Structure 1
Amino acid sequence: MSISQRHFGHMPDGRAVSLYSLVSTAGLTASITPYGARTSSIQTPDNTGALGENVLGYDSLEPYLSDPYFLGATLGRYANRIGAAVFELSGVPHRLTRNDGANHLHGGSGFHTKLWTAEVDRDALVLRYVSPEGEDGYPGNLSAQLRIYWDNERDLRLDYSAQTDAPCPVNLSNHTYFNLGYSPDIKDHSAQILAGYYLPTDTQGIPTGAIDPVEKTPLDLRSSAIIGHRFNACALPTGFDHSYVINGEGLRTAAIVRAPETGRRVALLTTQPGLQFYTGAHLKGSIGRDGKARPAFAGLCLEGQHHPDSPHHSLFPNTVLQPAETYQQTQIYQFDTL
């Protein structure tokens, strides 16, 4: 594998930002910028052998600085939502940034707007960010690390770790939008999610605390289904933006997405208990890599993560990281062509 570096732009304060290209031994390429620890591009072959784009992104840093869609971003300290933008630890309330109505979304100002440090360590790109105490309302100083590399030629592996000097909920994830085809949207893609249960939410997207079976609901994707057909047949006009409880434990396959037009396929493997499946309804009118307006459903996200709003729900897995512990999780995006 090889890693190259080039100039990508400047931060508003003048700091230079790079773009790193990681090329696997099979010729697959992932381009990563330390701004927000974002995946900007992933190039893989289609069924004719031609390399092409798999993800939504921009050609320079500047559009990322004002991007409201979290394109390709690392999410933290807490991916997804925390209801009422507050949680308690040992009876002490911690009030967070409100950036989703009355709620807290993807860490507030979040890791996606920070310039991480970067270094090349053999065949891996290692990104680090230290979140100071009080940032977006969180307690303690949190040191986060993301190690990215190609594993087995076609597996883009993301290893996350974090440590804190005070108890704090931690939930890191990746918010890359995939479009594996040549069409402007992903309605012709098929999706399979290996989950028997999901988390019902209120009208603001906050979990109710219930864990319900997907059986006999439009959210049942245990067998592969064409995304657009599911929208139409099951009255999902705004598509999917749902949290699933993934079957099993440890590193296992959570979701598989295919594009019939190109033959490209991506599978997400994760160590996390949940998956947020989002099909990009809010992308309508945003400007894409080619300078053209994107439609709704231009890309989909496969976000391996802990459950949203976990600090408020005792039935959900614990997300509080203690000072004596190390947070660790892995996500792998596994590419092939059919």
Structure 2
Amino acid sequence: MRKQQVSAGTLLVALSIATAGEAAEVNRMDFGKLADGSPVEIVELANGSGVSAKIMTLGAAIYSLNVPDRNGKSADIVLGYATAAEYLAKPQYFGATVGRYANRIRNGQFELDGKRYKLETNDGPNHLHGGLRGIDKVVWKIDSVKAGSPASVVLSHVSPDGQGGYPGTLKMTATYSLSDKNELTVEYRATTDKPTVLNITNHSYFNLAGDAGSSDIIGHRLTVFADAYTPVDSTLIPTGERRNVAGTPFDFREAQTIGLRVRDGRDEQIRFGRGYDHNYVVRGQAGTLRPAARVEDPASGRVMELLTTAPGVQFYSGNFLDGTTVGKAGRIYRQGDALCLEPQVFPDSPNQPDFPSARLDPGKTYTNTMVYRFSTSR
């Protein structure tokens, strides 16, 4: 059994299982308290191949994700803060479970069964990631932890009827599982007692070169398994169009270096997003687990493949990181230092009848599953 600490943390529980030369561990740790006295914990999942993920109860977030490079050297590949309090003092959605509705809803309003609902507006005129106190800003409950293969943790949260303006009492779980095949699976499930709209995703910021290093993601090579994306207006709300990526800076059907066209000011969509901040229409049938994206850092050799059951994936190139945030490794985060790939229902779907439905009714179960698969290239 090994013991690990996190900032301001003391070990609470550590479990380990070793079989056939492989170790699967679950370490449960204290991570300090918030200003209101609420305790925050971290659960670490680790396999025998050097991959480990620390899951924080605040926001059911991925706090860290250590992955070996082609030479076996491990590094944390996600951005974050050093202390729990910073996640609330200056929210950036680092690693967070976001919702109730991830991404944007036009003017913070939608209509459901003839009734208009008004949400908090926290992104100019629009509603973003659940509003001022979305599910990323609450402490989730740890329901269970399990060592073995996969090692896993299940967290839960209940959002009351009317929270943020949304109808229905929402019961949610977030399950993180790490296998001996270097796959981190995230599954969100939810039920409601009233008709509502729902779109939950993970908002991790990835830099495959490592959070503590000096490299940005401009040299990463990205593939997105999508033939179309949803263009936006100047406030980043989709226009309703599905636009073919062919001949545009949004064509990642074959691997392209992110920096090649991220500042192509000739494209209005790049200007609107200050880079990439757009939803892609993932190929294949929504509800089935299928490839959405692949990212490679040529320098370290780290490769991340993303599979999803969601109809879309938001590619965000870290455009609003502005040099005012200091991360957990003491590094100042600046534009282009990380990327997000967020499996989701399309932005503003409640106001777009031609988009996939975000509706959830009583008796039904919402599910969004994503798999992050790690390997190395030569």
Name the SS of the counterpart of 2:300 in structure 1: coil
Question: CA contact under 8 A between 1:284 and 1:297: conserved in structure 2?
Answer: no
The one-letter code of the counterpart of 1:337 is T
One-letter code aligned to 1:26: S
Work out the CA distance in 1 between the residues paired with 2:167 and 2:180.
39
CA contact (8 A) 2:26 2:145 kept: no
Shift of 1:200: 1.1
Aligned to 1:194: 225
CA shift for structure 1 position 145: 0.4
Q: CA deviation at 1:297?
A: 0.8
Matching residue of 1:241: 277
Pairing 1:17-28 to 2, within 5 Å after superposition:
17-28=40-51
- Measured in 2, the distance between the counterparts of 1:337 and 1:183 equals 20
For residues 92-241 of structure 1, the aligned pairs below 5 Å read 92-108=115-131, 109-122=133-146, 123-181=151-209, 182-232=213-263, 235=266, 236=270, 238-241=274-277
Offset at residue 311 of structure 1 (A):
0.7
Give the % identical residues. 41
Query: TM-score if structure 2 supplies the norm length?
Result: 0.87
- Segments of 5+ residues of structure 1 without an aligned counterpart are none
Alignment of 1:252 with 2:318, yes or no, is: no
Q: Secondary structure at the match of 1:281?
A: coil
CA distance in 2, matches of 1:59, 1:153: 29
SS in 2 for 1:308: coil
Q: After TM superposition, give the deviation of residue 65 of structure 1 in Å.
A: 1.9
Equivalent position of 1:86 in the other structure = 109
Does residue 297 (structure 1) correspond to residue 339 (structure 2)? The answer is no
Corresponding residue for residue 326 of structure 1? 365
Alpha carbons of 1:120 and 1:26: their partners in 2 closer, same or farther (altered >3 Å)? farther
Contact 2:82 2:327 in 1 (8 A): no
C-alpha contact 2:217 2:339 (8 A) present in aligned 1: yes
Matched residues in 1 for 2:197 and 2:327: separation? Answer: 34
User: Deviation string for 1:291-319 (max 9, x for gaps)?
Assistant: 33222111100100000000111111111
The residue number in structure 1 matching 2:17 is none
Q: Give the conservation status (yes or no) of the 8 Å contact 1:148–1:156.
A: yes
Aligned length in residues: 338
Does the CA contact (< 8 Å) of 2:228 and 2:280 recur in 1?
yes
**Residue-by-residue CA offset, 1:22-53 (whole Å, 9 max, x unaligned):** 00232210011010011010001011111111
Q: How far apart, in 2, do the equivalents of 1:158 and 1:292 lie?
A: 27
* Structure 1 residue 152 displacement after superposition: 4.2
One-letter code of the match for 2:53? A
Instruction: Specify the alignment match of 2:83 in structure 1.
Output: 60
Where does structure 1 differ by over 3 angstroms across 4 or more consecutive aligned residues? 232-237
Cα pair 1:55 1:177 within 8 Å, conserved: yes
Gaps of 5+ in 2: 1-23
- 2:35–2:85: 8 Å Cα contact kept in structure 1? no
- Equivalent of 1:43 in 66, 69, 74: 66
Q: Cα RMSD over matched residues?
A: 1.3
Q: Separation in 1 of the partners of 2:31 and 2:322? A: 26
Q: Which of 356, 365, 369 lines up with 1:317 in the alignment?
A: 356
Distance verdict in 2 for CA 1:252–1:234, change over 3 Å: farther
Instruction: Name the CA distance, whole Å, in 2 between partners of 1:66 and 1:268.
Output: 30
